[in-house]
Structure 1
């Protein structure tokens, strides 16, 4: 049991280190290439989550022999005599220290440090799961309390738009008085909620842009893909950079849908930006929910992204993604380099 827990803790340590390096690389690439498409940035941040999860479930990581072998061998050889001497003196020391009545009694084993660290990690994981379950129940409560949409024209417009995006069927449409911006709740049996108070103030073009944005989420299967970053956040809840990667993924996902709305559906960037400002900010959604900007900083970034008219060539985006897939996703471990085998001594000369 201790061996399994120790192995899990070792994987957590190496995965945390590799995730930190990968986050730094993705952050640097996104800063060095400001015209990188939002969809590509979304994929890069998703790969960070994939690496974090694979690092814990991959049984045989790729070993890189880069650590110096001489220092390790010298340390091991130096500690062997001390360990042998300690093992030789241990029984005598125990027998001398214990009374005769307790000399042969089995000693009570205290919890080892892997067990304590594993208990802390498991407690944090259970706490994260409890929070996610609570948030999911709140989102389902929104669906239950929402009223079905009775506007036949709106229902038909949603169905036509869903067919135009290649969806088999449109999501269920409901009206909620508890939200201020459209929300897509899923991932299974998705439900599209429209705000009851803001709906009368939205014109036909605004409503079309809002519906198109949510349908693009369904077309891209964002609610399903978003489960992996959420899983990485739960498993590495103690890692601030993993939470940063999950936030950047969510924001890049919204920016990618924004770009698709203004690029492929003939909508004006100014009008769409005005709609984003009108919808404002909303609390960060739970797992399986796509919603508006969670804060003003993210809203500002989405508005700035809309102003970018040029992007990098598709070959550059594909190349950057492929580089991170090949280099950063596979779990790695640094091991000691194998020292070269010394040459055999020359044979003694034959006696005449």
Structure 2
């Protein structure tokens, strides 16, 4: 549930940033960049509203921390860290700071009930928005079908065939007459159809009309409008997406004019402008999300004609500048999308001083009961570091951002801190994997095993089959595998089943402050 909410929010923020930058730069870009560039930025904004780009960035930041972490094979000890240089004071300062600000931080996190209510409101709003537009589309389609008749095989049909061949448009395109409209339009996604008004149109004007509508079909402009409508449905609460829908419609027409006018002489452009003026109509308030008209309304006609008459070949310097602007705007959207979900690299690195997602840790009762079948005799594995940041049980994973079962406890400590054997036993396995990083498994007899992972390295000479005494150093704290910072991940396994490790220690060995409560 929280994943859906955070990803939707990230998509909305990223799309809004792109639209905001597009509008902010419009006074400059509209003068130097072609209409095709403006239309392209609009399509990029639609992609940001529809695609969870934050997940892509999150995957990158998920990998990077692991690739920069030193790993030491068995038998190679890590570099010794003098006690005076270990950042104990800094960690303690962070602990104090977080303790003071923890209540405020927790207030920022929505409860499951509030999150559910927010998602319900969003879902109802999206359904109402989608339902209304579906109703409008059905009514629109019915009106068109009731009042449209096929055009007989005459000059218009032959002209349509020749214009399709000239533009490289393939597939069947119907040509229909409709006595309820006064301006030509293109409708239909899977079965495109060009509707012509019942009034007579000269052959020259008809050629321009068909070329214009077929250009829309070739560029799949109707699909762009549908995607903009889907974005509006998902982000109905965001005013930027509705501004974008209108903007895409306007610049779609301008860029279509630009594409056609670039191949015309000045006289042909003037005639094309006259054809647009002759087709002026508001289509009785029809929703232009469902069709592409030759001319939508009088509001933008002046700018449309001026831009069409002054179309010039784009210079190479302008093309380079336009590409740079697209990359800058798109990059800004990606960065903010990543930061809005908390998966950016800086957040991962900044969390290393605590070893886990501190904002999620809260106090639990100190009256922890020993519910296992072993004696409370185990030695705490990290001397002087008795704080637990992630307890045994279900909680929100700090990297994956989803509810998972935590089969052990996490004990944060500076990288290189010695890890001690909890009880006498035999080394059953030494290895590493993508999730746990460097790990050691010890057998203690009676079906009991202890598991130590995220290690920076292993104790020198440690090998499988060795007998180790309680308190022996077996490795060093690290952040290998999937981790947001240096810590020891410790598990207790009895008869093949995971058990709460705190049940094996005396209550005074570990602190119940800052423990993440199961279910958080």
Paired residue total: 309
Distance across 2 between alignment mates of 1:159 and 1:53: 36
Distance across 1 between alignment mates of 2:291 and 2:46: 18
Between Structure 1 and Structure 2, whose CA radius of gyration is higher?
2
Task: Decide which of 33, 55, 78 is 2:100's aligned counterpart.
Answer: 78
1:262 counterpart residue number? 261
Task: Give the TM-score, by structure 1 length.
Answer: 0.76
1:344–1:332 distance in 2 versus 1, CA, 3 Å: closer
1:298 counterpart residue number? 300
Distance across 1 between alignment mates of 2:124 and 2:118: 10
Is the partner of 1:194 in helix, strand or coil?
A: strand
Residue 130 of structure 1 deviates from its aligned partner by 1.0
Distance across 2 between alignment mates of 1:117 and 1:46: 28
Per-residue deviation, residues 175-198 of structure 1 (Å, max 9, x unmatched) = 00111211111111101100113x
Task: Give the TM-score, by structure 2 length.
Answer: 0.53
2:327 is equivalent to residue 328 of structure 1: no
1:45 counterpart residue number? 42
Distance across 2 between alignment mates of 1:338 and 1:169: 56
Considering fraction of residues, name the structure with more helix: 1
Q: CA RMSD in A?
A: 3.4
2:22 counterpart residue number? 26
Residue 343 of structure 1 deviates from its aligned partner by 9.6
Query: Is the 1:163–1:169 contact (alpha carbons within 8 Å) kept by the matching residues of 2?
Result: no
Considering fraction of residues, name the structure with more strand: 2
Query: Is the 2:179–2:197 contact (alpha carbons within 8 Å) kept by the matching residues of 1?
Result: yes
Residue 12 of structure 1 deviates from its aligned partner by 3.1
Query: Is the 2:215–2:256 contact (alpha carbons within 8 Å) kept by the matching residues of 1?
Result: yes
1:105 counterpart residue number? none
1:77–1:111 distance in 2 versus 1, CA, 3 Å: closer
Distance across 2 between alignment mates of 1:289 and 1:135: 12
Distance across 2 between alignment mates of 1:160 and 1:131: 39
1:96 counterpart residue number? none
Mean Cα displacement is larger for which, 300-309 or 253-262? 300-309
Is the partner of 2:32 in helix, strand or coil?
A: coil
Residue 286 of structure 1 deviates from its aligned partner by 4.5
Per-residue deviation, residues 99-140 of structure 1 (Å, max 9, x unmatched) = xxxxxxxxxxx9922122111111111111112212221332
Is there any run of 5+ residues in structure 1 with no aligned partner, and where? 84-109, 346-352
Is there any run of 5+ residues in structure 2 with no aligned partner, and where? 62-90, 106-110, 354-413, 418-520
1:175 counterpart residue number? 177
Distance across 2 between alignment mates of 1:81 and 1:125: 34
Query: Is the 2:14–2:334 contact (alpha carbons within 8 Å) kept by the matching residues of 1?
Result: no
